Amino acid sequence: MTAETNPVLLRAESITAGYGKMAILHDVTVEVRVGEMVSVIGPNGAGKSTAFKTIVGFLRPTGGRVRFDGQDIAGLRPDQVLHRGLAYVPQGRIVFPQMTVLENLEMGAYIERDGRRVREALERVYALFPILAERRSQKAGTMSGGEQQMVAIGRALMTTPKLILLDEPSLGLAPKFVSLIFDKLVEMKRAGYTMMVVEQNAAKALAVADRGYVLELGRNRFEGTGRALLEDPEVKRLYLGS
């Protein structure tokens, strides 16, 4: 099966959500099929990160529904969502700075009780990010921004999730690490991971995506294949700087 014919894994449908009485999202719909990489782009304040926080349970939607792997997860806590196989990498390279790389990765597997599965997940993370194996005893707080982002992504992979949401994985990184992180996203897709990625680097995000969504002012503005959005004159003019 191609990604286009694979079953829908996540569908957030007509989501309205925000902070207090201020709605940020207005009837936003996004979906991800098994095996896809889906990019979500748009200007600052478009509601991209709010959509992710609503899907993973940090915000409760005031309208719409979120279905993941056949179940309604709207309103569940983030830890309950994680148990169902949905992992989240928040923006900002959040690591435990005084812990070693290995300890950070092991924290990602806190819901896993089977030691064998933890070791297997660790080997998969090390295969994807060999530098983390080399630096396993180094404190995460002493690493570069790009290396810390690898730790954050690796930690999310430790539960062997069905879907990974990555919020701005290239934010604030040096150019060489931006390229490396995008290379790793492509490698993860080839390895069978299903992903949805929020990205400011719109052109790079669409170039590696099967499909994409453009949000603006908390609403769906465009959607389509990554290639189609890259080539759309209106998307180019408004969001890609050309």
**What letter does residue 7 receive in the DSSP assignment?**
P
The DSSP secondary structure of 100-155, one letter per residue, reads BHHHHHHHHTTT---HHHHHHHHHHHHHH-HHHHHTTTSBGGGS-HHHHHHHHHHH
Give residue 192's domain range: 3-239
Beta-carbon contacts of residue 10 (< 8 Å; ≥ 6 apart): 30, 31, 32, 55, 66, 67, 68, 69, 86, 163, 196
**What's the structural domain count of the chain?**
1
Beta partners for residue 157, in sequence order: none
pLDDT-based confidence at 242, cuts 50/70/90? low
pLDDT-based confidence at 150, cuts 50/70/90? very high
Closest CA to 19 of 67, 42, 56, 53: 53
Sort 176 into a burial class: Cβ within 10 Å, 0-12 / 13-18 / 19+. exposed
We report the CATH number of the domain holding residue 52 as: 3.40.50.300
pLDDT per residue over 39-98, tens digit each? 999 998 899 999 999 999 999 999 999 999 999 999 899 999 999 999 999 988 889 999
Would you state the structure tokens that stand for residue 155, as one six-digit string?
């930690």
This prediction's pTM: 0.91
